[in-house]
Amino acid sequence: MLTLKHVLVLDNFQYFLPKCPALEWLEILMCSQLHNLHVSEPLLRLEFLRVQGCAINKIELHAPKLTTFEYRGCFKVIIALHKCLKLKTASIASHIEDNLEYVFTGLPNGLPHVERLHVKVFVRTQIPGFTQLPLKFINLRHLIMRITFGSAKRFGKNAVLQLAYLLEAAPLLVDLHLDVSYYAICTFILFVVLNTL
């Protein structure tokens, strides 16, 4: 296990990780100088990866045993874990940016094998119309999504119905738990369970 917290991590970090062949659990927390987590060699035993509070632009690695990935930070990051075939559970959170569209356009490509996804996002402006065809979450079965809107006054009464787009983006979804709240104004919870025939 390795946890790095408030550590100065430089670009040569990619050469350090392959020298830890027994590494199964990696946490990188509040390392503001780490801009890319790119490892060219496979991390053969890595099963858990958490990246939180880093000024990171890209997360790309090949870990054949990786089953769980957690990310908390800016949604401008490129997540490229498509080579991690056993990655089944992911948690993505950003209370910084206003980019719900990223959930539908960036995540399916970077996490194609995920079956359980937990997303937390903060939205300050009107939800876009989602006119582009999405990439698909082809394996996603269970989704928990928590969305906080910055101001109820900016949204029409039916804005939340646009989230039905989730059903297009994840055609094999079995369970959907959607929590939607308006910051400091009103809160409601919508719980939907979808059963496939």
Residue 96 has a pLDDT of 67
Residue 154 has a pLDDT of 55
Residue 30 has a pLDDT of 93
Residue 188 has a pLDDT of 45
In whole angstroms, what is the distance from residue 47 CA to residue 109 CA? 20
State which residues of the chain have pLDDT below 50. Answer: 185-197
Q: Give residue-wise pLDDT tens across range 126-139.
A: 655 555 556 788 89
Contacts of 194 (CB under 8 A, 6+ apart): 167, 173, 174, 175, 176
Residue 127 has a pLDDT of 59
- Per domain, the residue ranges of the chain are 1-65, 88-197
